[in-house]
Structure 1
Amino acid sequence: MLRLLSRPAVRLVERYLPDPFIFVLLLTLIAAGAAMLFEQQSPLAIMRIWGDGFWGLLSFSMQMLLVLVTGFMFANTPPIKRLLARLADVPRSAGGAIVLVSLVSLTASWINWGFGLVVGALFARVMARRIRVDYRLLVASAYSGFVVWHGGLAGSIPLTIATEGHFMADRIGVIPTGDTLFSLFNLAIVVALFIAVPLVNRLMLPDESEAVIVDTERLDETNTAATSPSPQRPAERLENSTLLAWLVGIPGLIFLLDHFLLRGGGLNLNIVNFLFLFLAIVLHRTPRRLLDSLHEAIRGGAGIVIQFPFYAGIMAIMIQSGLAESMSQWFVSIASANSLPFWSFISAGIVNLFVPSGGGQWAVQAPVMIPAAQQLGADIAHVAMGVAWGDAWTNLLQPFWALPVLAIAGLKARDIMGFCLIQLVVTGVIIALGLTLL
Structure 2
Amino acid sequence: MSSSRDLPALSGGAEHKRIVDKIVYVFEQLLPDPFILSIGLTVLVAALAVILVPGISVSKLLNSWYTGAFKIIAFAFQMVLILLTGFAVADAPAVRAILGAMAKNVKTPAQAVILLFPVVAIAAWLNWGLGLVVAAFLSREIARRAQVDFGWLVAGSYSAWSICNNGLSSSIALSQATHGNEMNFVEKITGQLIPLSQTIFAPFVLVPTVLVVVVMAVIFVWMHPKGDDLQSVQIEDEAGDMDSHSRTALNPGSPAARMERSPLGTIVLLALGLGLIWTKVASHSFVLDINMTILIFLLVGLALQGRPINYAYAVRNGVRQTGSMVLQYPMYGGIMGIMAGTGLAALIAKGFVNIASSHSLPLWSYVSSMIITLLVPSAGGHWAVQGPFVVPAAVTLHASVAHTAMGVAMAENVSNMLQPFWAVPVVAMAGIRLQRVMGYTAVTFLVSFVIYAASLLFIP
TM-score normalised per structure 1: 0.94
1:320 match: 341
* Deviation digits for residues 107-133 of structure 1 (CA, Å, limit 9, x no counterpart): 111111111111111111111111111
Question: Structure 1 residue 65 and structure 2 residue 80: aligned?
Answer: yes
Change (3 A) 1:407 1:222: same
Contact 2:106–2:145 (Cα < 8 Å) also in 1: no
Cα distance in 2 between the residues matched to 1:100 and 1:346: 32
Match of 1:96 among 111, 127, 136: 111
Q: Deviation at 1:188?
A: 1.0
Please say if 1:170 is aligned against 2:188: yes
Once the two structures are superposed, the pairs formed by residues 27-106 of structure 1 within 5 Å of their partners are 27-40=41-54, 41-106=56-121
1:175-211 Cα offsets, whole Å, 9 max, x none, are 1111111112111111212211222222111114311
Matched, 1:404 2:447: no
Aligned partner of 2:198 in structure 1 is: 179
Tell me if structure 2 keeps the 8 A contact 1:157–1:358: no
| Aligned mates of 1:185, 1:19 — CA distance in 2 | 36
RMSD after superposition: 2.0
Query: Matched residues in 2 for 1:147 and 1:200: separation?
Result: 15
- Give the superposition deviation at 1:262: 6.6
Counterparts of residues 374-413 of structure 1 (less than 5 Å):
374-413=395-434
Cα 1:358–1:215 change in 2 (3 A) is closer
| 2:201 counterpart letter in structure 1 | F
Tell me which amino acid in the other structure corresponds to 2:395: Q
For the pair 1:209 / 2:228, whether they are aligned, the reply is yes
Q: Report runs of 4+ in structure 1 exceeding 3 Å deviation.
A: 1-4, 223-230, 253-264
- Structure 1 residue 308 corresponds to structure 2 residue 329: yes
Name the counterpart of 2:139. 124
Return closer, same or farther for 1:430/1:361 CA change in 2, 3 Å cut-off: same
CA distance in 2, matches of 1:363, 1:223: 45
User: For residues 241-390 of structure 1, what are the structure 2 equivalents within 5 Å?
Assistant: 241-256=262-277, 259=280, 263=284, 265-390=286-411
Distance in 1 (CA, whole Å) between partners of 2:298 and 2:64 is 36
1:150 shift after superposition: 1.3
The 3-state SS of whatever aligns with 1:330 is: helix
Distance 1:55 1:293, change over 3 A: same
Q: Residue 66 and residue 194 in structure 1: after superposition, are their counterparts in 2 closer, same or farther (change >3 A)?
A: same
**Contact 1:110 1:153 (8 Å CA) reproduced:** yes
Instruction: Look up the SS of the partner of 2:228 in the other structure.
Output: coil
Contact 1:113 1:146 in 2 (8 A): yes
1:4 paired to 2:22: no
- Unmatched 5+ residue regions in structure 1? none
Segments of 5+ residues of structure 2 without an aligned counterpart are 1-14
Q: Determine if contact 1:137/1:205 at 8 Å carries over to the other structure.
A: yes
Report which stretch shifted further, 331-340 or 77-86.
331-340
Q: CA deviation at 1:11?
A: 0.2
* 1:424 shift after superposition: 0.3
Alpha-carbon distance, 1:86 to partner: 0.4
Write the distance in 2 (CA, Å) between the matches of 1:368 and 1:15: 39
- Sequence identity (%): 35
1:114 equivalent to 2:129? Answer: yes
Shift of residue 60, structure 1, vs aligned partner: 0.8
